[in-house]
Amino acid sequence: MELNFTLNGKPVTAQIAPDTLLIDLVRSLGCTSVKRGCDTANCGLCTLFLDDKPVLSCSLLAARVEGRTVTTLEGLQEEAAEFVGFIADQGADQCGFCNPGFVMNTIALLRENPDPTDDEIRAFLAGNLCRCSGYEGQLRGIRAFLDSRKK
């Protein structure tokens, strides 16, 4: 089946099987920031934006994006660059595998709530799995970024 959608600001036409998952399609199109972790929509590694809302691409059929807009971390480099250094400064990117999912969800959080409390950050990022850290580094990095914007 033919699928037409926008990926990171560019129109895309792709031939897909009806059972193709969105994660497989975007990775085949070079968007390797979208990671496969659990395949059960529990880890957040496959997060991308569908019409500017975060979704888990491992549980979404690619056919559902017909005529819609898909954005991966590759399409948000400028926005992500604002705060990823703060996360790295806190040592929260030990292996880096979970970082794209955290970054995507942090962007979504900050778009929705530009000045969240620590509890709101924790709640919003609760669906992101990180096997290396205790999540406090990510929280400290996001908090440091937010504090730097207030100066």
pLDDT of residue 41: 87
Does residue 84 carry a pLDDT above 80? yes
Question: Is residue 8 located within the same domain as residue 37?
Answer: yes
The proportion of the chain whose per-residue pLDDT surpasses 90, expressed as a percent, equals: 57
7 and 71 co-located in one domain:
yes
Q: State the pTM of this model.
A: 0.91
Query: In this structure, which amino acid lies at residue 24?
Result: D
Residue 81: which of 125, 124, 145, 31 has the closest Cα? 145
State mean pLDDT over 11-17. 98
**Residue that is last in its domain, among 40, 75, 110:** 75
What average pLDDT score do residues 104-133 get? 88
How much is the mean pLDDT over the chain? 90
By DSSP bridging, strand 69-71 and strand 53-56 are unpaired
Report the pLDDT value the prediction gives residue 47, as an integer from 0 to 100: 95
**Boundary of a domain, candidates 19, 53, 75:** 75
Query: pLDDT digits over 34-62, tens only?
Result: 999 888 888 899 999 999 999 999 999 99
- Long-range contacts of 81-86, Cβ-Cβ distance < 8 Å, separation of 24 or more: 82/145, 83/110, 83/141, 83/142, 83/145, 86/141, 86/142, 86/144, 86/145, 86/148
**Least trusted range by pLDDT, from 11-15, 21-25, 66-70, 77-81:** 77-81
Q: How many helices (H) and strands (E) does the chain have?
A: 6, 5
State how many domains the chain has. 2
d(CA 129, CA 132): 9
pLDDT at 134 exceeding the cut of 80: no
Distance CA 100, CA 80 (A): 10
Residues in the chain: 151
CATH of the domain at 10: 3.10.20.30
pLDDT digit string (tens) for 62-73? Answer: 999 999 999 999
